[in-house]
Structure 1
Amino acid sequence: MEKVISDKNNLQVLFEDNHIIVVNKRPGDIVQGDKTGDKPLSEVVKSYIKEKYNKPGNVYLGVVHRLDRPTSGIVLFAKTSKALPRLNKLFQEKEAQKTYWAIVKNPPPKKSDTLVHFLKRNPKQNKSYAHIKEVPESKKAILEYRLLKKLDNYFLLEVDLHTGRHHQIRSQLSAIGSPIKGDLKYGFDRSNKDASIHLHARELKFIHPVKKEEIQIIAPPPDEVLWNNCIN
């Protein structure tokens, strides 16, 4: 499902029905409001719904999950109070399959592997540290990666998340010597000009909370030279 609808708010809608809406987040957008005071994606989506359906009063929108600000890709929202708790349960019970693309400078040690680390979050630094063995206050983190493509100076990895930890992909790929392009926080040598990182939530599979059908969403990566080389 790669159909994309853009509106004047530069919102890319990937899928929408009465109960859910899925959008393709641009790098730099925040999903929910924070101390920056910048308009969050949730408010942009509310404005879109209000205008499209000419809704009076407040628009209901439930945030199901988040993406880091410098990351792009799929974000799922609930449009009804019926759908939100069901979607929350789906994510909590790891029944939603999330696949990411990451562009890294250094090739990983193996072409494909399962990584298991124990991540300990440092809230002051807003950073997670990956440990091989369990340490106090750490959480187990599991992902699978495979090398999809060799680019001129970089490598495209596909990552399947088995757990949803803070900065999990960024931290775990850095721990094996393959930090994500632009990710200064996790060891890449320089930032991207737009402060993005080359991490993209590419695919999401889940059972619709009301219709009980499987939904598969695929999000095109940002229109940028390196990402374009990945899909061409």
Structure 2
Amino acid sequence: MSRADGQDVRIPILYEDNHLLGIVKPVNVPTQEDASGDADLVSLLKEDIKIRYNKPGNVFVGLVHRLDRPVGGAMVFAKTSKAASRLSETVRSRKFRKVYAAVVHGKLPAPTGSLKDFLLKDAKTNTVSVVKPGTTGAKEALLDYEVIAETDRYSLVKVELHTGRSHQIRVQMSHAGCPLYGDQKYGNGVNKPGQQIALWSVIVGVPHPVTKEEIVLASLPPAEHPWNLWPEATLNALTDKES
């Protein structure tokens, strides 16, 4: 695939049938069209389906969940409006499983734990902050985490989201004293400009919109810094329980 800037974009396919398309989102590609005007994932997937299946006219690709632009990893899209509607309902009913890997600065207070905060988004600055319960417009944010490995400076953490708030993992980890590696927005005091944020969608699990079979998509982060601070076997632990 090619972007508007002429660079090729490789989008690996994890799963595909007549109803679903599971892929690995490349980093720094917007999920949907935004003010940047850069080629977005939905448009790229539509063009790819048109070419692969020689489809004339419009192609349906339904967006049911999002990843921030700098974040890569597993995503699932609907290929029909019925599948989109049913997948959106799994999101609303919290049956849509989302598990991430993150490299954070420092060490969390326990090997496993849960974080519960109330988040408020400022649309003007596109930033999110932790606020007191009961604050007007605030939404509850819940996640569970497991520390997979540590170095003297960083922790490799597996995070399961129970809510899908904007910038949720980034904000909650920063509030807990462990901002994500490379996160300029919520960890600019410990990160350097140009660093790639270390957040990756490792598992997406959904009931198939037609067969109801549990579909599990898994994707490991690239063998690049800071992920390669740990051996391949350690990174495999992020998804090996799902196979």
Taking structure 1 as the reference length, what is the TM-score of the superposition? 0.91
Q: What is the CA distance between 1:224 and its match in structure 2? A: 1.4
SS at match of 1:186: coil
**Could you say which residue in structure 2 is the equivalent of 1:180?**
180
4+ residue runs over 6 A deviation: none
The structure showing larger relative contact order (alpha-carbon pairs under 8 Å, at least 6 residues apart) is 1
**Could you say which residue in structure 1 is the equivalent of 2:131?**
131
Structure 1 residue runs without a partner (length 5+)? 1-7
Q: Distance in 2 between matches of 1:152 and 1:12?
A: 34
**Could you say which residue in structure 2 is the equivalent of 1:3?**
none
Q: What is the CA distance between 1:132 and its match in structure 2? A: 5.2
Q: Does 1:19 align with 2:19?
A: yes
Contact 2:9 2:26 (C-alpha < 8 Å) held by counterparts: no
Q: Which letter does structure 1 place at the counterpart of 2:18?
A: N
Matched residues, number: 224
Q: Distance in 1 between matches of 2:89 and 2:141?
A: 19
**C-alpha offsets along residues 93-121 of structure 1, whole Å, 9 cap, x if unaligned?**
11011111010121112211111101011
Q: Distance in 2 between matches of 1:231 and 1:29?
A: 27
Q: Which letter does structure 1 place at the counterpart of 2:29?
A: D
Q: Which letter does structure 1 place at the counterpart of 2:150?
A: K
Contact 1:62 1:79 (C-alpha < 8 Å) held by counterparts: yes
Q: What is the CA distance between 1:192 and its match in structure 2? A: 5.8
**Could you say which residue in structure 2 is the equivalent of 1:114?**
114
* Cα RMSD (Å): 1.6
Larger CA deviation: 84-93 vs 152-161: 152-161
Contact 2:76 2:204 (C-alpha < 8 Å) held by counterparts: no
Contact 2:75 2:204 (C-alpha < 8 Å) held by counterparts: no
Residues 112 and 206 (structure 1), Cα distance of their counterparts in 2 relative to 1, 3 Å cut: same
SS at match of 1:184: coil
**C-alpha offsets along residues 71-107 of structure 1, whole Å, 9 cap, x if unaligned?**
1112211111221100111111110111110101211
Q: Distance in 2 between matches of 1:97 and 1:231?
A: 26
Contact 1:22 1:77 (C-alpha < 8 Å) held by counterparts: yes
Residues 101 and 132 (structure 1), Cα distance of their counterparts in 2 relative to 1, 3 Å cut: farther
